[in-house]
Structure 1
């Protein structure tokens, strides 16, 4: 049947079961927004304060729900404001479809008002980009974009429509095909063949070889990476860990892939990893890394990383194999499928002596009784009072590391953090997306005073949509992680890291119509967080901390994984 081109865009979103879109309108995308008005009962649009906030919200929605996020923006600065969010999603393998519109065909390439080559700009930070010049291709492009974003190693895709393609007078042929059926369309099948979209079926011989290596191991260690979370392979990973009776170290992106309070958990690994994780990595004889790319924050010195072990890498992306750390064996395939096959092939093992030894490497932490407020006290209060399934989004820096160290993440999508790109300003947008996608869950946003200044304008979004997000600011009056490096490595030369400036965060929250609290003691923190849980509206808790609080442990970049600068 014949329908408007813009109507086809909306119908294709409905094909993919999209019910929420984040974005910000502008001149070139007005035809799309005008059509959206006709679909407002079917597609909920969240208007953010800034396009970057919309990009992070769509990303947070995707990570927390397991669905594909969708983000709209106009041309020129609207599109370029998305790029940080696109790169953030790309580095952390988050499936988001970004939809922009550009100037009309006659104006293209003439430096027209708000014209930019966004497909060219976004090419290195997306799985695919599309510039739509022919309206008849809209259904195929939309279906392909969602297939590319969600299939294989997930990631962002960008579609840029020329404005004349979306003109109200333009009609195209269209047939509604639900997403569960449209993967069988000829265009999708051709795309799957040409782009190798289908996850490779694991080689049975490779799985058998790993089973043999496990049988020979006395000191195995499992490494839970972001691929376990993205692939929703947490159940299979847990079964493997328990059958192996092996300690489990967790990367920043692996949070939620294995229960954080499980007896086999050793905590985070790498630069700010626990002593147990880092020492176990150095002393194990078999390291099985699932969905982990061995970034420089994990394998700080690739040459000496897990030097006593045979290293096995399981990853869906063949290009990650041997990219950062040379392996002794690898399996290319979807984490869930590989672990299913492996679980079928191995018996139950017992490595009690090894697991007990590793467990002793993490000393028991005594509760702090300081009168002054510390990061540990802030996080212990949140962990004790918040529901166990609460979603936690973070920005980047000291508070991020403290949050990951002290919270126990038990399921995929419970932790939302920018691991690969390290994006300050990610947290509040991601929390908005998570709350929109999980309206019945408590969402806590942890941030630093430096990060929060970068995205605090999104408080207007929190207030307008009545999102009960609790923002907890670790306010130490400095760019804490940078100051920590300056203290330890740069001879206490604190160049441009002191944040001796406004705003008053409590008054800022109140200016946006939200509740604000300032806390300086553990007792005040408990009262404020209880009040925030009861408020049923957005709240900001300004926690005043000492400027010289540090993240411990710490290993310097490029150093041996057990060469701790701080214990």
Structure 2
């Protein structure tokens, strides 16, 4: 075999791994790689305007396609700018490989121009990272990195490549299947544990399935298995923010999202259940509320591929280490082999129907201003038949979208959950559009969050991506303002945006179409105009400035301490609502 440069080895290895798209930004320490990409022409490179946007675009691509996202950035500031997106991917279990340039090996540690300790900086926000000092091992490291990023609990892996290693030569041969010495994530569950779980489900009087992003990460088959499992057991299903779409929102067994801004029925069902079956979820603090009051009378089963998630925050009665899809497949097989009848949990459903009757997602309207919840509902009504991919920024608009935009299938909801990264939505929408060129992709945004990566309007223009941005513009950092109102006696410190751009003119400056919606009677027509345009569109939807996102569990409170829309003034659950508990 002829020797090749490290840069050529990298590109060939990426091609062997099926990589079609790379999101990146060039710089001196990666110019040999960019030259190899230019000469190869086998990989499409997407030039973003900021390295953080490259990582979020890769996340959107990965989350919507199921393929790993790939990022290429230069050394120093290129790598440090990518850290936010790398951390975001780690928190939300997104498969991503980030290739960073580094100064030449003999300069490492000398504070050379654009040098940063990328391996040290990213050690705690990656599944694994590498500093490659020999081109002979580069190819095998790339293959191993993709294996680590995509197997087990998915996550980001960083490969730091000094410039001289990119230029030096070595031989490359495509390796066989990766068999790492120590990293061997579980797939199949212990049969005895699954049998025990099936028996617990058959005997439960108040069961509930608590599902998360792990169901979606397990693949489309896992979502189908969850639906079948819910059908044979009759149990209700709720989900974390990251798990939305794994179970259809139109199902009568769907309770909606749980947690801080979850529905009344989901949170009260979790609180009163006698059996919680957590599948691919990690008992995040936004879900549990006050730990000593979290579902105090239930037995808890946790199915997860990540050993470190077990018993991390909540004591589990039956931990099952396995891939969510494989575990549910085994559950169904054993349930059917034992010919369990559908459990009689009619009384449980009567209680749930009582909680549903509270209609916790209802909201007030005065006919004069657009309520943000109404805007989301109107957007859903106009688009749900097209099964759009929805991305969001972070804030009130994100929670309203999670509450009021019902998802029927997985990989259609892309948001920043664990890290809560403002600026995620637009680049994620760009990545999703590139991975799904025929899909309708909409970023539901806030006027504050969208400005975090607004420069990526240029990326969408350059690559002719028909992304739609739907801004709920209340002129505030809405979630910050809401907390200030409820916790700091309405002292709105630095949460009002005094100098907003004209989003319509900004859209036009970037070659987009701009639409402004200011009154309720303009809402449907404005959305229709957005959908009729075959290019990128920004909609500046002016919504009620002081609307709050309810229901809400205050930080550190219990599920039974929810603030409902009807009790916004008092800030506590009224007696009628408490009686339903």
TM-score (norm 1): 0.95
Report how far residue 314 of structure 1 moved.
0.8
1:103-153 superposed Cα distances (whole Å, 9 cap, x missing partner): 011211110000001111001010000101100001110000000000111
Contact residue 264 and residue 355 of structure 1 kept, 8 A:
no
Structure 2 unmatched runs, 5+: 566-581
Kept after mapping to 2: 8 A contact 1:97/1:157: yes
Which residue of structure 1 lines up, in the alignment, with residue 34 of structure 2? 33
1:535, distance to aligned residue in structure 2 (A): 1.0
The residue that corresponds to 2:200 in the other structure is 213
Match of 1:194 among 179, 182, 205: 182
Compute the displacement of 1:194 (Å): 1.2
Mapping 1:306-385, distance limit 5 Å: 306-346=295-335, 347=340, 348-363=342-357, 370-385=367-382
SS in 2 for 1:159: strand
Deviations 1:308-365 (A, max 9, x none): 2111111111111110111111211000011001111223334233224313422457
* Partner residue, 2:224: 235
Does 1:44 pair with 2:44? yes
Cα distance in structure 2, aligned partners of 1:366 and 1:212: 38
Question: Which residue in 1 is equivalent to 2:23?
Answer: 22
Computed over aligned residues only, the root mean square deviation of the Cα atoms, in angstroms, reads 1.4
Correspondence 1:84 to 2:64: no
Give the structure 1 partner of residue 279 of structure 2: 290
**Contact 1:245/1:352, CA 8 A, preserved across alignment:** no
Aligned length, in residue pairs:
553
Does the Cα contact within 8 Å between 1:266 and 1:359 map onto a contact in 2? no
d(CA) in 1 for partners of 2:115, 2:536: 37
- State the distance in 1 between where 2:350 and 2:367 align: 31
* Corresponding residue for residue 494 of structure 2: 496
Deviation string 1:394-423 (CA, Å, 9 cap, x unpaired) is 111100000000111122211001100000
Partner residue of 1:447 out of 438, 445, 448: 445
The aligned residue for residue 522 of structure 1 is 520
Quick check: 2:123–2:129 contact (8 Å CA) kept in 1? Answer: yes
CA distance in 2, matches of 1:511, 1:442: 23
Contact 1:473 1:542 survives alignment (8 Å): yes
CA contact (8 A) 1:391 1:441 kept: yes
In 1, Cα distance between equivalents of 2:440 and 2:404: 18
Equivalent position SS for 1:214: helix
State the alpha-carbon separation in 2 of the partners of residues 39 and 467 from structure 1: 24
**Alpha-carbon contact 2:216-2:410 (below 8 Å) kept:** yes
TM-score norm. by structure 2 comes to 0.93
Name the CA distance, whole Å, in 1 between partners of 2:289 and 2:348: 24
Quote the Cα distance in structure 1 between the aligned partners of 2:366 and 2:373. Answer: 11
Cα deviation, 1:473-512, whole Å, max 9, x if unaligned, reads 1111111001101111111111110112121111111110
Task: Name whichever of 383-392 and 545-554 sits farther off.
Answer: 383-392
The answer to whether the 8 A contact 1:284-1:306 is kept is: yes
Query: In the alignment, is the contact (CA less than 8 A) between 1:447 and 1:474 conserved in 2?
Result: yes
**CA apart distance, 1:46:** 0.7
Change (3 A) 1:414 1:15: same
User: C-alpha distance in 2, partners of 1:501/1:482?
Assistant: 17
In the alignment, the residues of structure 1 paired with residue 159 and residue 522 of structure 2 have an alpha-carbon distance, to the nearest angstrom, of 48
- In 1, Cα distance between equivalents of 2:191 and 2:362: 47
Asked if 1:247 corresponds to 2:236, the answer is yes
Question: 2 CA distance for matches of 1:401 and 1:64?
Answer: 20
Which residue is equivalent to 2:262?
273
- 1:165-202 per-residue CA deviation (whole Å, 9 max, x = no partner) reads 111xx32212245xxxx32xxxx21x1x3122x32421
How far apart, in 2, do the equivalents of 1:357 and 1:426 lie?
39
Q: Secondary structure at the match of 1:565?
A: coil
Distance in 2 of aligned mates of 1:349 and 1:442: 41
Q: Please, which of 427, 430, 434 is the counterpart of residue 429 of structure 1?
A: 427
Q: Secondary structure at the match of 1:447?
A: strand
1:480 is matched with: 478
For residues 49-88 of structure 1, the aligned pairs below 5 Å read 49-88=49-88
